[in-house]
Chain A
Amino acid sequence: MSKLRFTKDHEWVRYDGNVATVGITDHAQAELGDIVFVELPEVGRELKAGEACAVVESVKAASDVYAPLSGRVSETNNAIVQDPALVNRSAEDEGWFFRMVPTNLSELDTLMDEAAYRDFLASQQ
């Protein structure tokens, strides 16, 4: 069964089987505006939860993307490198950034579920 979780930094992570897929939330893409460039971590890189591992650049600003979990990068989404606007069009689905094999699944429990993330966004307004 898959688990969808969110960070306060507006990344999402979907854990399904042994792999976690990571991206930025729809809120984050809307805030950035037109995304023009994405730099992804190398496959095989070992990440620690909270570590800056990718860069996203829009017409307004550039920002880091952080690893929601510790683990090893197993795959990156070349489609968003070729077409960064895919992140704007489909941030929480086709616009995923990378996949990783988590090394500490208990970290998932420190993240927010979808309802908690929506509440978090509402509380910040």
Chain B
Amino acid sequence: MALRVAVPLLSAEEGLHREARLLDRVRTTAISGGVVFWRSQKALSVPRVVESRQHFGAIRAAMAKAGWPVVVRATGGDVLPLTPGLLNIGLCFAHPGSSAFGIAEAYKLLCEPLIEVLGAWGIAAVCGRTPGALCDGEYNLVVEGRKLAGTAQRWRHAADGSGRMAILAEATIFGDDDLRVQVAAAEKFYRLSGMVAGLKVDRHVTLAELLPGPYAELGGSGLLEAMAAEIAQAFRRRFGWPACVPSD
């Protein structure tokens, strides 16, 4: 039986809230993990470091006026414009906690299943940096030097004092976005902040570009739902969770 996975279109606040709620469940209960998938209404997602910068309030207001409400997320990274064409994945899992298990290992747990699923669709992705891409980082998913997905993490302790860690590992995959629009939004934000972004549209790639046949057949949201269902299966194989994907 094929697994069906809901990929609801949510406000950015609600999507991030669902991820935070799942992290809190992993932190405060015995459940070992879960994953939420969602698409976002247009918004600009920024880490907390950005919130602490000078004139953030005025910049936030200017971006909202331009159609890009700014939301502050609890994971690290940089500015990322969210749109309905992106697939947001919030993977939460518990780990007993040890110095040998760190941020790199957590990224592997997130990225390896994604690479496996993309490989099954004929896309050869690797982890790496993509200078000039939005929210560039060491653990982007990259296809032929172009960024297909970004990642971030939030670590918290379990509430039971056991030393167990609860980890939220996020990935955002470009689906059928007009990346020129996203890059322009991020550049506007940086410009208002008095910073130079150096972003390049051609350092990104979308699923629609890589999978023109399935995109034509399934449409943007259909392709993201099909991809999400396979990613959910891959996480299940990796983590051995029961056959459910927590969602609200």
Q: Are B157 and A66 in contact (CB under 8 A)?
A: yes
B42: Cβ under 8 A from any A Cβ: no
Query: Which of B45-53, B59-67, B116-124, B220-228 sits within the interface?
Result: B45-53
**Which residues of chain B come closer than 8 Å to A120, judged between CB atoms?**
99
A124: Cβ under 8 A from any B Cβ: yes
B152: Cβ under 8 A from any A Cβ: yes
B219 → chain A closest CB, angstroms: 34
A61: Cβ under 8 A from any B Cβ: yes
**Which residues of chain B come closer than 8 Å to A60, judged between CB atoms?**
76, 103, 107, 137-139, 153
Q: Are A62 and B157 in contact (CB under 8 A)?
A: no
B188: Cβ under 8 A from any A Cβ: no
Chain A interface size band reads 20 to 34
B236: Cβ under 8 A from any A Cβ: no
The residue in B49, B75, B103, B157 that gathers the most chain A C-beta atoms within 10 A of its C-beta is: B49
**Which residues of chain B come closer than 8 Å to A84, judged between CB atoms?**
49
Complex-state Cα separation, A50 to B159, whole angstroms: 10
Q: Which of A1-33 contact B (CB under 8 A)?
A: 8-10, 27, 31-33
B74: Cβ under 8 A from any A Cβ: yes
In the complex formed, the residue of A with least CB distance to B97 is A8
B203: Cβ under 8 A from any A Cβ: no
A43: Cβ under 8 A from any B Cβ: no
Complex-state Cα separation, A32 to B76, whole angstroms: 11
A57: Cβ under 8 A from any B Cβ: yes
Q: Are B155 and A62 in contact (CB under 8 A)?
A: yes
**Which residues of chain B come closer than 8 Å to A121, judged between CB atoms?**
99
**Which residues of chain B come closer than 8 Å to A63, judged between CB atoms?**
154-156
Secondary structure dominating the interface of B: loop
B142 → chain A closest CB, angstroms: 16
In the complex formed, the residue of B with least CB distance to A63 is B155
Q: Are A124 and B157 in contact (CB under 8 A)?
A: no
A113: Cβ under 8 A from any B Cβ: no
For A64, give its contact among B103, B107, B139, B156 (CB under 8 Å).
B156
A106: Cβ under 8 A from any B Cβ: no
**Which residues of chain B come closer than 8 Å to A36, judged between CB atoms?**
47, 49, 76
**Which residues of chain A come closer than 8 Å to B137, judged between CB atoms?**
59-60
In the complex formed, the residue of B with least CB distance to A9 is B157
**Which residues of chain B come closer than 8 Å to A55, judged between CB atoms?**
48
Q: Are A57 and B47 in contact (CB under 8 A)?
A: yes
For B154, give its contact among A37, A39, A61, A66 (CB under 8 Å).
A61
For B49, give its contact among A27, A57, A64 (CB under 8 Å).
A57
B242: Cβ under 8 A from any A Cβ: no
The residue in B99, B154, B161 that gathers the most chain A C-beta atoms within 10 A of its C-beta is: B99
Q: Are B155 and A61 in contact (CB under 8 A)?
A: yes
A15 → chain B closest CB, angstroms: 22
Complex-state Cα separation, A10 to B99, whole angstroms: 9
B98: Cβ under 8 A from any A Cβ: yes
**Which residues of chain B come closer than 8 Å to A62, judged between CB atoms?**
47-48, 74-76, 152-155
Over the window 66-105 of chain A, the binary record of Cβ atoms lying under 8 Å from chain B Cβ atoms (1 yes, 0 no) is 1000000000000000001000000000000000000000
User: Would you mind naming 10 contact pairs between A and B with Cβ atoms under 8 Å apart?
Assistant: A9-B163, A10-B99, A37-B52, A39-B48, A50-B157, A57-B47, A60-B107, A61-B106, A62-B48, A62-B75
The 8 closest A-B pairs by CB, nearest first: A124-B99, A37-B49, A61-B153, A63-B155, A124-B98, A36-B49, A62-B76, A31-B102
